[in-house]
Structure 1
């Protein structure tokens, strides 16, 4: 089997040609080989080799995700059976996983090639959805179809029934996913250093009405009740079931399922604090100032000194 240096995972719709060009020119100078999923061969130069999607991670030393957090999650899922380091190049708007901006890419690739980076380990949810095996690094969600009633499911943990939900959606999230759908539904922010699973109902009508935080060693079983509406099943925001009216979802937490490349962990944490401030976390003004680039601090200070109108 032919091995490649880096595999490219591309945002499904955005124009990635500029960033792909940077990587391709870097690879040509360094004598490195690149690969991409066969379905994306028309989006890359001819020097990048197409391989079957299910072989990309296994045949590459590392993956380069070009997009936002959604693309990064796809790269992690692609490598879940053979975890490889994944470097995220940012093209999105609000990213919590992606670290590198395009101008920084050549230097980041040099460090990736020499192993000058740290690995941030990420857990995933291994899910059996109505008989199909899937994985999610953020969350798996059972969502009502508009106009069709409510999601009604029972919750069992390690074989013991806890209760039931009647809601618009039910979200099962990892700590990484706690800032996404679960947070929007009213769930808690969970530190990525914590191992836990969060089950959060959105717009609960009856039954369990608050988030439940469970141990990573417990197995979660959600069973659709006969009176439930047709339910769509989402995995990391992707619909994998359109209208399920019966069946179950079994969820198991898996540690160390993904490897995210970190070049500057402190800078990454600072960026995330700014992003989290957009989610209404109560940062004090002086805390926010310390997170701003140097060139913006004077502007920030001038605005704070303006008298109120």
Structure 2
């Protein structure tokens, strides 16, 4: 690898000390390195906003993400268009995606430059609705826009009606996202290298709603219906908690496995179950 890009959560590296340390290290070893800054304006083109897209050079061979899992998710959505692998430096609490700790940065950089690493492909989701589309590594969540009401919506699987929900929303998740909002909503925990789609309603107003595990090639449609009094309903589809599509009664979003993946660089031999165990101990 010769060309690197650093994506930094500036709220966690306020003085850019770690960012500049990594940049200096790479340049002292003869590598090219640029720092991407989060954009304030939207870059849409029938998509929702890309967070870092225009600041990540297309010739980058590795994106080093400084922050936590949230920053990794934002960078992953941008990198999906560029097919560039990512590695995360954890500046927050224990995470699942950002595996390099601050104390191990120099060793991680040494191993990167020596080619001592593996690349793990993670499946992503693609969502298309209301003339917009986007990608998600963790999940696509359709939820109410108002804080005081549930939403009425239908769910279709492979164009066949599955069920109707009155709920706070629904989480459509990848295995990577199974430890996020999906888990909080009662969904199962899945090994992140798996290939499947998880569907979990959020606080449904029924006693028989369960999370579902579906094949990776399943297409899921969520259609916003009228309110109980026939009124227009306002909802929002969130992509990894960042990009969003506004929805109203009659709108539909179709979600399926993306043809793009997120490439995660792995240096450590720590298993997913070990990280999960540490999380449970907290």
Whether TM exceeds 0.5 here: the answer is yes
Q: Which residue of 2 aligns with 1:295?
A: none
| Residues in 2 aligned to 1:247 and 1:208: alpha-carbon distance in whole angstroms | 26
1:254 is matched with which residue?
Answer: 258
Once the two structures are superposed, residues 143-179 of structure 1 have per-residue CA deviations (whole angstroms, 9 ceiling, x without a partner) of 2234452122111111111111110121111111111
Structure 1 Cα separation of the partners of residues 145 and 124 of structure 2: 26
| Matching residue within 7, 10, 13 for 1:9 | 7
CA distance in 1 between partners of 2:280 and 2:191 (Å): 12
Contact 2:7 2:37 (8 Å CA) reproduced: no
Q: Does 1:202 align with 2:202?
A: yes
CA shift digits 1:6-63 (9 cap, x unpaired): 11111153335121121122023212111123557xxxxxxxxxxx833615220100
| C-alpha distance 208-4 of structure 1, shift in aligned 2 (>3 A) | farther
Measured at CA, do residues 206 and 239 of structure 1 come closer, stay the same or move farther in structure 2, by a change above 3 Å?
farther
- For the aligned residue pairs, the C-alpha RMSD in angstroms reads 2.4
Q: Quick one: structure 1 residues 4 and 199, their matched pair in 2 at CA, closer, same or farther if it must change by over 3 Å?
A: same
Give the length in aligned residue pairs.
265
Structure-2 separation of matches of 1:59 and 1:207: 52
- Contact kept in structure 1, 2:132 and 2:245, CA below 8 Å: no
- Give 2:269's aligned residue: 265
Q: Is residue 45 of structure 2 the alignment partner of residue 26 of structure 1?
A: no
Offset of 1:75 from its aligned partner?
Answer: 1.8
Deviations 1:256-295 (A, max 9, x none): 60111111123665334212444xxxxxxxxxxxxxxxxx
Report the equivalent of 2:186. 186
Map 1:71-150; keep pairs closer than 5 Å. Answer: 71-150=71-150
Structure having the higher Rg: 1
| TM-score relative to the length of structure 1 | 0.78
Q: Deviations over 1:227-254 (max 9, x none)?
A: 2631122111125135644411111113
Q: 2:141 touches 2:171 (CA, 8 Å); kept in 1?
A: yes
Partner of 2:236: 232
Determine helix, strand or coil for the equivalent of 1:34.
Answer: strand
Q: Is contact 2:125-2:174 (8 Å) kept?
A: yes
**Unmatched 5+ residue regions in structure 2?**
40-51
Task: Trace 1:148-187 onto structure 2 (pairs within 5 A).
Answer: 148-187=148-187
**Structure with the greater relative contact order (CA < 8 A, sep ≥ 6): 1 or 2?**
2
Q: Secondary structure at the match of 1:265?
A: coil
What are the equivalent positions in structure 2 for 1:24-63 lying under 5 Å apart?
24-37=23-36, 39=38, 53-54=53-54, 56=56, 58-63=58-63
Partner of 1:285: none
How many Å separate the matches in 2 of 1:241 and 1:254? 17
| Conservation of the 8 A alpha-carbon contact between 2:175 and 2:195 | yes
- Residue 81 of structure 2 aligns to a residue whose secondary structure is coil
Q: Residues 246, 91 of structure 1: CA spacing in aligned structure 2 closer, same or farther, 3 A cutoff? A: farther
CA–CA separation in structure 1 for the residues paired with 2:74 and 2:86: 11
Q: Distance in 2 between matches of 1:207 and 1:98?
A: 37
Answer with 78-87 or 210-219: which moved more: 78-87
